[in-house]
Amino acid sequence: MRLFSNSSTIRENIPLLIEEAVKQGDPLALRRAAHSLKGSSGKVGARSLAAVLINLVKIGATGTLDDVEPLLFHLRLESERTRRALERKMLVQPAGLP
């Protein structure tokens, strides 16, 4: 799955995948989604986003969703910051490069 093919994908998919797992009350799904997204965010240099996702992985691994709400706020914030940073990078990328 290419999560970072464009900036709108980041804004839309990251919070949605995590929030859906929380909404369903499924810590295992939270852990899996956060782990997958953590790897993708690390590959594009989104370290702050990856740090939030690491904490979400840890919460999911506990088998409960205790203390997840504050991290959802940070997830939204970092997802938006990452989206904006990638958009800026795409604007200054030389023509002809992928």
**pLDDT tens digits, 16-50:** 889 999 999 999 999 999 998 888 888 888 999 99
pTM for the model? 0.78
**pLDDT tens-digit map of 43-90:** 888 999 999 999 999 999 999 999 999 999 999 999 889 888 888 887
- Residue 88 CA to residue 21 CA, distance in Å, equals 30
Buried b (16+ CB within 10 A) or exposed e, 16-25: ebbbebbeee
